[in-house]
Amino acid sequence: MTARKTAIVTGSTSGIGLASARRLGAAGYNLVLNSFTDASEDRALAESLAAEFGVEALYVAADMSKGEDARRLVRDAADAFGAVHVLVNNAGVQHVSPIESFPVNQWDRIIAINLTSAFHTTAVALPIMREAGFGRIVNIASAHGLRASVNKSAYVAAKHGIVGLSKTTALETAGQGITCNAVCPGFVLTPLVETQIEDLMAQKGLDRETVVAEHVLRKQPSKEFATVDQIAGTVAFLCSDDAAQITGTTVSVDGGWTAQ
């Protein structure tokens, strides 16, 4: 058992998840990193963050498409550190296709990883947080949790769902020292978005600059990507004492997208 608070970040070996883990490590949290890959690099990353920030860090392999894996992740974290104080549900995947041709296996995978995993982790974490008298749950949603786009039915449905789950969690924990909020990024230059850019370049025969300007950032009035560090800073703020009365809401980091 440790006197430090402990933070779990799902899908935390790259992108927003890794940036959030780094920011929480810098704030003094012990860290539980997660991915499904279970590679030596994953464990090395945990060791590296522990050394950099002077905290303890544990890597736990868990496939967020499987409910029992998601629940085990939280149990393993609590067993290792004695409690769980912060849960960042970040794991996410994407697939783009019209509804009538959307592959059923992709629909099931996206809903499971982007939405249902957060239900499972939250369900296990809440009693642990109540016992500790402190909890911060931050769900990484999306501007697509507030707006829709064509050909992204599963992603939009999942992200709208995560916003609703965040609100319900907040109501069920109000007054208990626990908060739950959803961060809604616009386009962030992550590996997932980079893949989308490359796919659009191939489909439309356009160069990268044109795809980014005309197809990716078209809805983002700032015409700039949000950065993983900006999202991580928002996550860290929502985990702080200054955010103790912020619960059940969404925080958009989207260059003005949802202001339209």
Count the helix, strand and coil residues of the chain and give each as a percent rounded to the nearest 5: 55, 15, 30
Tokens encoding 74:
């939280």
Q: Which of 53, 107, 155, 257 is flagged as catalytic?
A: 155
On whether the CB atoms of residues 89 and 141 are closer than 8 A, the answer is no
What CA–CA distance (Å, rounded) separates 222 from 225? 8
29 annotated active-site: no
User: Which residue shows structure tokens 């920030």?
Assistant: 53
On whether the CB atoms of residues 195 and 96 are closer than 8 A, the answer is no
Tokens encoding 111:
């809903």
What CA–CA distance (Å, rounded) separates 201 from 160? 28
Q: Looking at this protein, which amino acid is placed at residue 42? A: D
Number of neighbouring beta carbons within 10 Å of residue 69? 18
DSSP alpha helix (H) spans, 82-225: 104-111, 117-132, 153-173, 191-204, 208-211
- Residues annotated as part of the active site: 155
